[in-house]
Amino acid sequence: MDKFETELWYTEKQTPNHGITTRINRTLHHEKSEYQSIDVMETRQFGNMLVLDGMVMTTDKDEFVYHEMITHVAMNTHPEPKNVLVVGGGDGGAIREILKHPTVETATLVEIDGRVIEVSKQFFPEIAGRLDDPRVQVRVEDGIKHIREHQNAYDVILVDSTEPIGPAVGLFQKPFYQGIYDALREDGIMVAQTESPWFNRDLIRQVFRDISDIFPITRLYTASIPTYPSGLWSFTIGSKKFDPVEVDESKLPHLDTRYYRPEMHKALFQLPQFVQELIEK
């Protein structure tokens, strides 16, 4: 080793005044797609890292948390999910988790940016590797349009979006949730990633209120994701019939997971006080 080693660090301002910095070995990919900038870096701490518009989307080492947690809470609340839709989620991680449920007949991925799918297949084979499963339908199109054209079609819909700026802004607005309601069957359930309880309190409050106005059952839960802002991430569920806190945990299947456990299913909804206050009137 040389006396002076070149150190490369990727620094992301997660807020105007705070962020993470992580050492990289090299950049693997950079492009500007039709919708956003797409970067892949090889980091020392977290393996390969996918960055869209300067924001970490996923990494090899902690991706399992986000992908398991956006998927299994809703999937294990619905007693028999057959037709499942992912809006966004071009990396394929949510699809991989959905396919762990044997009831699934079709898993549809609607991603607006086809380049995210291709880049993920190339640099994240562990995440995107199940996109060629015969049950999977990949559609490169606008999620809002797809929702509008598929009424009463899905049992579970996952909104696996980027941050509420850029191409995903419409995925955080009330008309979109109404569209999801209409695209779900009469006992359907949705879940959306809804940012950090530390840094995005107004957004969480607003989304929870919007979903509550549309769905009879609304629930919030969190998970620990070290490469996301604040390390704590929230997910919001809207459900027409089945309440996640009413499931019989003893009957839930034990899937091959590293974060989600059936035994934590109900415990997830016992939120810290400062998070609980975000969803109370």
Tracing tokens 């956003």 back to the chain, one arrives at 36
Nearest to 196 by CA among 236, 136, 166, 248: 236
* Closest to a copy of itself by CB, 175 or 272: 272
Q: Show Cβ contacts of residue 106 under 8 Å, excluding neighbours closer than 6 positions.
A: 82, 83, 84, 135, 136, 137
Q: Segment 39-98, which members bind a copy of itself (CB under 8 A)?
A: 43-46, 62, 65
Binding test (CB under 8 A) with a copy of itself, winner from 205, 226, 242, 245? 226
Tracing tokens 């995440």 back to the chain, one arrives at 127
* Closest to a copy of itself by CB, 173 or 230: 230
Task: Give the three-class secondary structure for 2.
Answer: coil
Is residue 118 a known part of a binding site?
A: no
Binding test (CB under 8 A) with a copy of itself, winner from 230, 240, 242, 243? 230
Residue 56 tokens, joined: 């970490």
Concatenate the DSSP letters of all residues of 190-243 into one string. EEEE---TTT-HHHHHHHHHHHHHH-SEEEEEEEE-TTSGGGEEEEEEEESS--
Is residue 18 a known part of a binding site?
A: no
Catalytic residue among 39, 62, 155, 160: 160
Q: Is 210 a catalytic residue?
A: no
Quick check: 171 and 161 in contact, CB under 8 A?
yes
Is residue 167 a known part of a binding site?
A: yes
Binding mask 239-258 for a copy of itself (x = CB under 8 A): ------------------xx
Task: Write down the least CB distance from residue 190 to a copy of itself, Å.
Answer: 23
Active site residues: 160
Q: What is the contact surface with a copy of itself in residues (CB under 8 A)?
A: 11, 15-23, 43-46, 62, 65, 198, 222-226, 230-232, 257-261, 263-264, 266-268, 270-274, 276
